[in-house]
Amino acid sequence: MIEDKNQEKTGLDQLGEFELIKHLTKDFTLQQTSTIKGIGDDAAVLDFKDKKSVISTDLLIEGVHFDLSYMPLKHLGYKSVMVNLSDIYAMNATATQITVSIAVSNRFPLEALEEFYSGVALACEIYKVDLVGGDTTSSTKGMLVSVTAIGEAKEENIVYRSGAKPNDLLVVSGDLGGAYCGLQVLEREKEVFKVNPNNQPDLSPYTYIVERQLKPEARRDIKGLLEKLEILPTAMIDISDGLSSEILHICDKSEVGCNLFEDKIPLDPTVIAACEEFKMDSTLVALSGGEDYELLFTIDQKDFPKIKGNPHFTVVGHMTDKNEGVHLVSRSNTKIPITAQGWNSFS
């Protein structure tokens, strides 16, 4: 649908904070039995009975984490939820509720926030989570989004970063590098648009990688897949900052080393093609790109036959004694020390 530029926009000052919250959340329905009270009181009330609750939160800042010149607000709402659900799934837990807080400047009318919340609503519907609270306020510098995700798990099923042991296998879900390649395409088209605003980019050859950037999916399915295989990972983390950073996190918390094999890193053909086009090293993109929201985990060697040949998983390395360090084993069989070169919001 083409937006009517002349259509009257609704200023947020016409509603006030409480009416705004009521308006934006009126169509959200509760799906979780653990949600006793959602939005509408001083606090949400949740009941997990005999399970443990897991909680994670993320802050997204316009100009740092997202660029609204090519990130549609509906996609931003969806992605804001995915970023947080991914952390819950990385604990081998089930996501159940979220809170969403936003701060916006006066350049955002009500209709813009409706778009954002429609993306949040779609994520809630698909991933079966309840929106149970949040806050709205004003900002002098663009848009800020804070999402908190809550989940549940039996204590014996929770997987931390700290359980990996020497000789455990290092496994990754899906493929890596797509989100970073999609970002490069979008940034390039943004520069072209600045020069010629009438130019409409053809993104069809880049559909997969652009979607990986604009509308990522959290790996809710991994918990169930591993349960069917009767595998409980020894350690797990989500790949938000790049493969190298996440491996180092597991090694640090588990006090182990690691050998990661370059030729085992899973890359989609569109990622390889984009790397060639942009003259980027595909291994470096997988190691440092980030925002893939795949899961990286370790398993006991005895579980290898269960996972071997499974299309959802790739064994990319193994854990070693801490004294052996953390290395990338290149295609030419050279050991290269792995350093954290992933996303750093302070650099």
The phi and psi torsions of 256 (rounded to 5 degrees) equal -135, 170
Segment 160-183 shows an average pLDDT of 98
Q: What pLDDT is recorded for position 31?
A: 84
Residue with tokens 């989609």: 268
Integer-rounded Cα Rg, in Å, for the chain is 21
The phi and psi torsions of 103 (rounded to 5 degrees) equal -125, 130
The span from the CA of 108 to the CA of 6, in Å, is 15
Q: What pLDDT is recorded for position 196?
A: 86
282 among the known binding-site residues? no
Q: What pLDDT is recorded for position 47?
A: 81
Q: What pLDDT is recorded for position 344?
A: 54
241 among the known binding-site residues? yes
Confidence band for 17, pLDDT divided at 50, 70 and 90: low
Segment 244-268 shows an average pLDDT of 97
Tokens of 202: 């053809």
Domains of the chain: 12-157 (3.30.1330.10), 169-337 (3.90.650.10)
pLDDT of 152 higher than 90? yes
The span from the CA of 31 to the CA of 14, in Å, is 31
134 among the known binding-site residues? yes
25 among the known binding-site residues? no
pLDDT of 3 higher than 90? no
Summarised one tens digit per residue, pLDDT across range 215-225 is 999 999 999 99
Summarised one tens digit per residue, pLDDT across range 264-294 is 999 999 999 999 999 999 999 999 999 999 9
Q: What pLDDT is recorded for position 193?
A: 87
58 among the known binding-site residues? yes
Segment 255-264 shows an average pLDDT of 98
Q: What pLDDT is recorded for position 190?
A: 92
Segment 177-194 shows an average pLDDT of 94
Q: What pLDDT is recorded for position 102?
A: 96
Q: What pLDDT is recorded for position 1?
A: 35
Residue of 150, 130, 133, 147 lying closest to 29 (CA atoms): 130
343 among the known binding-site residues? yes
117 among the known binding-site residues? yes
The span from the CA of 151 to the CA of 88, in Å, is 6
- DSSP H or E run through 337: strand 335-337
135 among the known binding-site residues? yes
Confidence band for 235, pLDDT divided at 50, 70 and 90: very high
Select the more confidently predicted residue: 338 or 28. Answer: 338
Q: What pLDDT is recorded for position 301?
A: 98
Confidence band for 309, pLDDT divided at 50, 70 and 90: very high
175 among the known binding-site residues? no
130 among the known binding-site residues? no
56 among the known binding-site residues? yes
Confidence band for 44, pLDDT divided at 50, 70 and 90: low
Task: Supply angle C-alpha 255, 150, 62, rounded to 5.
Answer: 85
105 among the known binding-site residues? no
- Exposed (0-12), middle (13-18) or buried (19+): which is 200, by Cβ within 10 Å? exposed
Of all residues in the chain, the percent with pLDDT exceeding 90 is 77
Residue of 245, 251, 248 lying closest to 287 (CA atoms): 245
Query: 123 in helix, strand or coil?
Result: helix
161 among the known binding-site residues? yes
Residue of 135, 148, 2 lying closest to 84 (CA atoms): 148
Task: Supply angle C-alpha 103, 108, 110, rounded to 5.
Answer: 95
The span from the CA of 90 to the CA of 160, in Å, is 8
Confidence band for 2, pLDDT divided at 50, 70 and 90: very low
pLDDT of 57 higher than 50? yes
Within 10 angstroms of residue 285's Cβ, the number of other Cβ atoms is 26
Residue of 222, 233, 237 lying closest to 168 (CA atoms): 233
